[in-house]
Structure 1
Amino acid sequence: MTADTPIVRLADVRLDRGGRAVLRDISLDVPRGSITAVLGPSGSGKSTLLAALTGELAPAAGKVEVFGKPVPQAKKALLEMRKGVGVLLQGNGLLTDLTVAENVGLPLQAHTDLPKPVIRRLVEMKLHAVGLRAAADLFPRELSGGMARRVALARALALDPPLMIYDEPLTGLDPIASGVIMSLIKRLNDTLGLTSIIVTHHVHETMPVAGHAVVIANGGIVFSGTPAQLEASTDPLVKQFLNGEPDGPIAFDAVARSQAA
C-alpha cells in the first residue's frame, strides 16, 4: 500500500441484510491520517457499513478494501486484517470480573507472545494515553461511563492498530464526558498517526474534530464533504438531519428503521 492509497476504499458497494438492500451505490475513500465522520439517523445503515469494514458482512456488490486490499473472507486472513483495526464498541464490552489493566491487556495476551512484564508495561502506556493509569486496579463497576469508555479505547489501541473505528462513541455519556472523548480521539489520531472513522448520529459534537463528513440516509450517501460544507448545505435531506426535524425527506418509520439498523 502506497502512502497515497486510501486506508479504506468502498467502490459501488451494495450491502444486504435479510434479503433486502440496506445501502446501495456506496463509494467512499478514507485518506490515511484523517478523521472521517459517518453520520446518519438511527436505522440508516451505519452499523451495516461498519460490519462491511470489519468483514462481518460481505458486500452483495462492489468492492470493500482496507489497507489497500479487499477485505478477506477466509477466516485466518480476516483475523490477521482485524489486528490492524481497533474498534471501540457502543457498549464498551469490558469483562466485569477483570480489572481495568486485565481488560486492556486481553488483546496483547491473545495475539502476541510477549512476556508478562512487557504486556504490563504496554498496558500502563495505553492507560496513560487515555489518562487512566491510576485506575489500573479498578473493576468496570467502579468506573463512570466516561472512564469505562476510555478504558475500552485503551484496549482498542492495545495492538497499535493504524485504523480506528468508533461505533457511536458518545452513547450514554454526559456533555462533559462526550467532550473529553472527542478531544481524546483527536489527540490520539494526531499523536499516534492513526486514521479514524467515527460512526455516529452526534453531529455537533463530532464535527469539530472531523476533517471529512459523510451522511447516510434513505439507503445511500446523501452528502460527502468537509464539516464546513455540511454546515452550509441547503439540501433538504441534510438540513432535516442536522436540525432534527421530524418532517422531511427522511421518513420516520419505526418498522423500517429497526430493520435497517
Structure 2
Amino acid sequence: MTVANATAVHLSDLRLDRGGRTILGGIDLAVPTGSITAVLGPSGCGKSTLLAALTGELQPAGGSVEIFGQPVPQRSRDLLEMRKSIGVLLQGNGLLTDLSVADNVALPLRTHTRLAAPLIDRIVEFKLNAVGLRAAANAYPRELSGGMARRVALARALALDPPLMLYDEPLTGLDPIASGVIMSLIQRLNHTLGLTSIVVSHHVHETLPIADQVLVIANGGLVFSGTPAELETSSDPLVRQFLRGEPDGPIAFDAAQRTEAA
C-alpha cells in the first residue's frame, strides 16, 4: 500500500451501525499524512467504533473509508494485507502472558514475514530500544508495570513498520507519570519514524499537547474539528461541557437512545 498520498485517512459522510442502530453518522474527516489526530469524546460515544471502521472490522452502513487513497477492502485476503500497514495499540495491551517480551514483539514478524530468525531478533531489539525497554526483552508480561506493558504493546504494534498507527485509549489504567511517558513516545515515534497517528482518548489534557488536529465526538456525530488552540477557545456548549467535565449539559450522562438504522 502506498503512503505517498497527502491524506492518510479520508472519511466521507460515514455512517456506522451496530445491532441495527446508528452509532455515528455524517462523519467527514481528512487526516494528513505525518500528523497526529486526537479523537476525543465521552465514554461510549463511538470512538472505538470509529477505529473498528478504519481497520475493516466494521463495514460502514453508509459513506466511505479510505486509507492512503484506497477504500478499505471487504475481501478477507485484501483486508489482511491492508492491516499490515496499520499498527493498533489496544486498551488492554493484548500481550500473551506465556511469551517473553521479545517473543511478544516478534510475533507479528514471525506470523506475517519470512525473515530469518537473526534478522527478527535484531528488529525486536531495535523496537524495544525505541520504547526504552531493551533490557526487559527476557521478562514476561506479569513481571512488568502497567506502563512498561503498554510500551511493549507499542513496540509490537510497530514491529511491521506500519505507516499508520491507531491508539485506542492508550492511557487507560496508567498513572500520571506513565501516561506522560506514553504520550511523549507517541509524539516522538510519530516524528522520527514518519508515521501518521490517530489517538482515541477521553484524556483531554494529556492528549492535546501532542495533537496537530482534534476531533470531538458526542451525541452520535462529530461536534468539533480543528486545532487544539481552536478547541480551547470554542464556545460550543457540547465542547465546553466535555472540556470542563460538567455533568449537566447537552451531552447526557445516561446513554442516549441510539437512532434506528435506516
2:221 equivalent in structure 1: 220
Check if 1:141 corresponds to 2:142: yes
Looking at structure 2, the residues matched to 52 and 2 of structure 1 have their Cα atoms a distance apart, in angstroms, of 19
2:26 maps to a residue whose letter is D
- Contact 2:96-2:104 within 8 A present in 1 as well: yes
Q: Give the CA RMSD over aligned residues.
A: 1.1
- Structure 1's 135 and 52: CA in aligned 2 closer, same or farther, altered over 3 A? same
Give, in whole Å, the separation in 2 of the partners of 1:22 and 1:114. 41
| CA distance in 2 between partners of 1:3 and 1:53 (Å) | 18
C-alpha displacement at 1:217, in angstroms? 0.2
For residues 255 and 100 of structure 1, the distance between their equivalents in structure 2, rounded to whole angstroms, comes to 41
CA distance in 2, matches of 1:63, 1:256: 25
Letter in 1 for 2:94: G
Provide, for residues 7-51 of structure 1, a one-character-per-residue CA deviation record: whole Å limited to 9, x for no partner.
100000110000010001000000000000000000100011010
Report how far residue 2 of structure 1 moved.
7.5
Q: Does 1:31 align with 2:32?
A: yes
Q: Deviations over 1:101-144 (max 9, x none)?
A: 00000000000000110000000000000000000000000000
In structure 2, stretches of 5+ residues that fail to align are none
- Find the aligned partners of 1:111 and 1:62 in 2 and give their Cα distance: 31
Deviation at 1:4, TM superposition (A): 4.8
Counterpart of 2:74 in 1: which secondary structure?
A: coil
CA distance in 1: counterparts of 2:233 and 2:42, whole angstroms: 19
Counterparts of 1:202 and 1:30 in 2: how far apart (Å)?
A: 20
Alignment partners' CA distance in 2, 1:79 and 1:199: 23
Name the CA shift for 1:181/1:22 in 2 (closer, same or farther; >3 Å).
same
TM-score, length of structure 2 as denominator length: 0.96
1:169 aligns with 2:142: no
Normalising by structure 1, report the TM-score.
0.97
1:108 and 2:139 matched: no
Counterpart check, 1:160 vs 2:161:
yes
Return structure 1 stretches of 4+ with deviation > 6 angstroms. Answer: none
CA–CA separation in structure 2 for the residues paired with 1:254 and 1:229:
28
Identity %: 75
Corresponding position of 1:183: 184
Task: Give SS of 2:210's match.
Answer: coil
Shift of 1:254: 4.1
Change (3 A) 1:117 1:3: closer
Cα distance, 1:5 vs structure 2: 3.2
What 5-or-longer segments of structure 1 have no aligned partner? none
Contact 2:4 2:68 survives alignment (8 Å): no
Paired residue secondary structure (1:90)? coil
